[in-house]
């Protein structure tokens, strides 16, 4: 069993910091269950984040990285909590000094889905699709450049209600978010349907619950190894391309033993340009593998797209 590097006993209560949304609390409870399996006492401490409080602005206008994690990082550094539980796709690739990615829970679905009102959405010449993600917007416009994209913010319950209340044809969600919030199962009652977006490469670490801690706390025994390796590779790809958590960058690593199947892509904000890499290979170190895949993307012109994104954001 793991214990803190500083020698703190297992009896020490682990204070779990989390955002207050229903999905964030679900994630915190899953982390709590895993910590209890390893003999830790726990307490969940909900904290409001800047991203939750400022729902009227698109995510990218709040700052490209860490909008949902900064408040919890401060609480960690100030020792108000011992760990912070996040949807790992929201966590910047460069953590604050003194913090580390301590563990990853087994990955859920990494896929994006379109939730829509009517089966005729695909036959329309022009659709209105809602999403707060620059990545989802860029992938959608790459395939359907004639469509109108509108911003969508809030927790998953609020976003579903906004879809019902507006004249939108559909909205894009993470499958895992709707499933974990038990909304996926109730869509039919709301006269909504969904389909998986197979051509959309997920955000780096999508579907992964990550536990961030101060560096003196070793929780490596809790981590799901193949998920953690995938997260390291995807986050290294994102970091090398210098993209923030909201940039139009997708990355997906499927790890089995020492074999990795990696897909990555970066798109211009309007979806006109796309650089994509895909490879199946043996790897020895996940972070290095992700960095090397980013180098392949840069060799194909990804750097020019990055510069365009920086000028806009």
Q: Catalytic amino acids?
A: 90
What's the farthest any 2 CA atoms get from each other in the chain? 64
Q: Is 198 within 8 Å of 142 (Cβ atoms)?
A: no
> 253: which residues sit within 8 A by CB, 6+ positions away?
229, 230, 233, 234, 260, 261, 262, 286, 289, 290
Q: Report d(CA 73, CA 255) in Å as an integer.
A: 29
Q: Report d(CA 166, CA 153) in Å as an integer.
A: 14
Q: Is 128 within 8 Å of 167 (Cβ atoms)?
A: yes
Q: Report d(CA 297, CA 275) in Å as an integer.
A: 6
Phi, psi of 274 (to 5 degrees): -150, 130
Q: Report d(CA 259, CA 111) in Å as an integer.
A: 21
């Amino acid at each position: 069993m793991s214990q803190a590097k500083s020698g703190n006993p297992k009896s020490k209560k682990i204070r779990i910091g989390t955002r207050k949304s229903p999905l964030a609390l679900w994630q915190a409870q899953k982390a709590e269950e895993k910590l209890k399996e390893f003999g830790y006492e726990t307490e969940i401490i909900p904290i409001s984040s800047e991203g939750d409080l400022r729902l009227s602005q698109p995510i990218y206008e709040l700052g490209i990285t860490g909008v949902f994690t900064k408040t919890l990082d401060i609480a960690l550094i100030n020792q108000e909590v011992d760990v912070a539980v996040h949807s790992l796709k929201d966590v910047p690739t460069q953590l604050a000094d003194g913090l580390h990615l301590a563990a990853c829970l087994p990955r859920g679905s990494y896929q994006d889905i379109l939730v829509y009102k009517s089966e005729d959405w695909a036959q329309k010449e022009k659709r209105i699709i809602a999403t707060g993600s620059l990545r989802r917007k860029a992938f959608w416009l790459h395939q359907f450049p004639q469509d109108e994209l509108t911003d969508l913010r809030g927790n998953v319950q609020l976003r579903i209600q906004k879809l019902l209340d507006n004249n939108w044809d559909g909205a894009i969600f993470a499958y895992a978010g709707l499933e974990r919030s038990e909304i996926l199962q109730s869509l039919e009652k709301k006269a909504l349907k969904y389909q998986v977006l197979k051509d959309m490469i997920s955000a780096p670490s999508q579907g992964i619950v990550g536990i961030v801690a101060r560096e003196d706390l070793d929780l490596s025994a809790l981590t799901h190894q193949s998920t953690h390796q995938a997260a390291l590779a995807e986050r290294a790809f994102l970091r090398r391309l210098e993209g923030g958590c909201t940039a139009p960058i997708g990355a997906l690593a499927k790890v089995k033993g020492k074999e990795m199947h990696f897909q990555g892509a970066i798109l211009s904000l309007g979806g006109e340009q796309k650089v994509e890499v895909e490879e199946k290979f043996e790897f020895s170190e996940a972070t290095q593998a992700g960095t090397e895949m980013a180098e392949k993307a840069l060799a194909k012109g990804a750097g020019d797209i990055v510069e365009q994104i920086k000028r806009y954001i």
